[in-house]
C-alpha cells in the first residue's frame, strides 16, 4: 500500500469517517495512524501529535508527495483531495450545484456536528454535571433540528445522489452523521430522503470499507 498519503484518525470520529469515504471514492491508497480520542487522556493532546497538528483534532492528512503537506479539518481535506486528485470528482461541475452540495455538507459539518462531538459531550457530563438522560436529549434535539433542514434541502436533488448517479462530497458527510444519530438512538423516521440516500451508499464498497467497524483501531 502506498504510504504517500497518511490519515491520522479515530475509528468512531465522524470527521475522520468523512475523509475515509472520500479517499475510497477516489480509489486512493492511504496509510492509517490511529489517534485514540479517549485513551491516555486523549492521544490527540500528546505533544508529538500536536507537533503535527496544533489544532489537536482528527483527522489529519499528510501528503508526502506534496512536500509532506499537513491538512487538518475534514472539509478542507475533501477540498484538497478534489483539487489534487480531480478524477473522480467529489463535487458537481456546475457552480450552482456545487454550492448547493457545499451548503448541505457544511450544515452537517458546521451546524450539527460541532454541538454533538465528543469534546462537547464530555464537557456537558464532566464539567457541567449533566446526566446521561439530559445529555442524550441535548444530542437528539440538535440532530433532529439539523437533519430536518438537510431533509428539506435534499429536495433539490429529487431522487438522485449529489453527483446524479453517484455519491460524493455531500454523502461523505451525511453517512457519518446518520451513523452517529443511530448510535444515540435518534428517531430518523421523519427523514425518508436521508435514509434512502444512506441505504444506497451503504451498498457501495467505498462506504463499507470506511465504516467504523472496519477500521484497524475498532473497539467493540
Q: Can you list the domains of the chain with their CATH numbers?
A: 5-88 (3.40.30.10), 95-206 (1.20.1050.10)
Enumerate residues 6+ apart whose C-beta is below 8 A from 92: 98, 101, 162, 163, 168
Q: Give the global pTM.
A: 0.94
How many angstroms separate the CA atoms of 169 and 185, rounded?
25
DSSP count for the chain of H helices, then E strands: 9, 4
- Within 10 angstroms of residue 18's Cβ, the number of other Cβ atoms is 29
Helix (H) or strand (E) holding 5: strand 5-9
d(CA 43, CA 50): 9
What is the full per-residue pLDDT of the chain (220 aa) written as tens digits?
A: 345 999 999 999 999 999 999 999 999 999 999 999 888 888 999 999 999 999 999 999 999 999 999 999 999 999 999 999 999 999 999 999 999 999 999 999 999 988 888 888 889 998 999 998 988 898 999 999 999 999 999 999 999 999 999 999 999 999 999 999 999 999 999 999 999 999 999 999 999 999 999 999 998 7
Amino acid at each position: 500500500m502506498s504510504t504517500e498519503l497518511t490519515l491520522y484518525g479515530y475509528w468512531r470520529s465522524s470527521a475522520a469517517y468523512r475523509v475515509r469515504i472520500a479517499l475510497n471514492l477516489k480509489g486512493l491508497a492511504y496509510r492509517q495512524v490511529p489517534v485514540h480520542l479517549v485513551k491516555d487522556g486523549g492521544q490527540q493532546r500528546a505533544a508529538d501529535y500536536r507537533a503535527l497538528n496544533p489544532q489537536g483534532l482528527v483527522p489529519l492528512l499528510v501528503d508526502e508527495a506534496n512536500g509532506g503537506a499537513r491538512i487538518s479539518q475534514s472539509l478542507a481535506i475533501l477540498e484538497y483531495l478534489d483539487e489534487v486528485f480531480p478524477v473522480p470528482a467529489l463535487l458537481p461541475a456546475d457552480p450552482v450545484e456545487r454550492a448547493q452540495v457545499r451548503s448541505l455538507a457544511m450544515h452537517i459539518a458546521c451546524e450539527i456536528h460541532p454541538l454533538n462531538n465528543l469534546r462537547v459531550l464530555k464537557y456537558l457530563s464532566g464539567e457541567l454535571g449533566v446526566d446521561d438522560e439530559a445529555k442524550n436529549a441535548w444530542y437528539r434535539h440538535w440532530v433532529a433540528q439539523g437533519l430536518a433542514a438537510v431533509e428539506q434541502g435534499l429536495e433539490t436533488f429529487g431522487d438522485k445522489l449529489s453527483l446524479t448517479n453517484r455519491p460524493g462530497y455531500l454523502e461523505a458527510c451525511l453517512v457519518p452523521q446518520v451513523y452517529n444519530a443511530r448510535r444515540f438512538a435518534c428517531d430518523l423516521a421523519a427523514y425518508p430522503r436521508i435514509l434512502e440516500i444512506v441505504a444506497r451508499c451503504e451498498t457501495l464498497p467505498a462506504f463499507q470499507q470506511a465504516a467504523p467497524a472496519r477500521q484497524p483501531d475498532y473497539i467493540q
